[in-house]
Amino acid sequence: MTRNFNQNHFALFGLPVSFDVDAGALERAYRELQREVHPDRHAQATEAEQRIAAQWSTRSNEAYRILQSPIARGRYLLHLNGIDTAEETDTAMPVAFLVSQMDWREAVESARRARDDAALDRLGREERALRAALVGELRDALGRADWPAARLCVRKLRFIEKLAEEIDLAAEALDT
């Protein structure tokens, strides 16, 4: 198994470095790579070869997971361009966005307390529309190499991911 561990995730799957990824091509390349590197295929190999196969399998799983997700893919593209999204440490966000996040969370909590499944469904649809719009903004920002705007989109999408989790948890609570 001769592969270059230093290649980026796109090269690993033979894909162009781009925000827009052909999902079918990614899936096919992933399956093909897994057939080659999966540890079960190397069960009779030396211990060193088994370790290498396990490392490649882990790397291909991680790369696939990242390239499948628009948010993770955007974050990764920023990383390839030397941009740290600093999502864990940089809490500065536009005030209007933060206020809207507080409003969303209050609406989710209110719907949960009222056991209002229809309101949670509506909030879920609105969240998905907002996510789609932000993914579009991210695509555009990356396309024009506007790293600050792309970084902000990724950070906003991280908030939206958390909001989606809260909506899902509230909906699950109604089901129990």
Cα separation, 14 vs 126, whole angstroms? 36
Total structural domains in the chain?
2
pLDDT of 1 > 60? The answer is no
Report the phi/psi class of residue 90: left, alpha or beta, with left for phi > 0 and alpha for psi in -120 to 50: beta
CATH code of residue 165: 1.20.1280.20
- Residues 116 and 171 placed together within one structural domain of the fold: yes
- Residues 46 and 114 placed together within one structural domain of the fold: no
- Residues 53 and 101 placed together within one structural domain of the fold: no
pLDDT of 3 > 90? The answer is no
Segments forming the whole domain that contains residue 16: 9-68
- The 10 Å Cβ neighbour count of residue 43 is 9
Among candidates 62, 69, 55, which has minimal Cα distance to 19? 69
* Pair of tokens at residue 39: 């540890």
CATH code of residue 46: 1.10.287.110
Structure-token match 């030397």, residue found: 82
Residue 102: inside a domain: yes
C-beta of residue 108 within 8 angstroms of C-beta of residue 102: no
54-109 confidence digits (pLDDT tens): 788 889 999 999 999 999 999 999 999 999 999 888 888 999 999 999 999 999 99
Task: Quote the mean pLDDT of the chain.
Answer: 91
- Residues 63 and 99 placed together within one structural domain of the fold: no
* Pair of tokens at residue 37: 């590197």
3-state secondary structure at position 43: coil
- Residues 153 and 102 placed together within one structural domain of the fold: yes
- The 10 Å Cβ neighbour count of residue 71 is 20
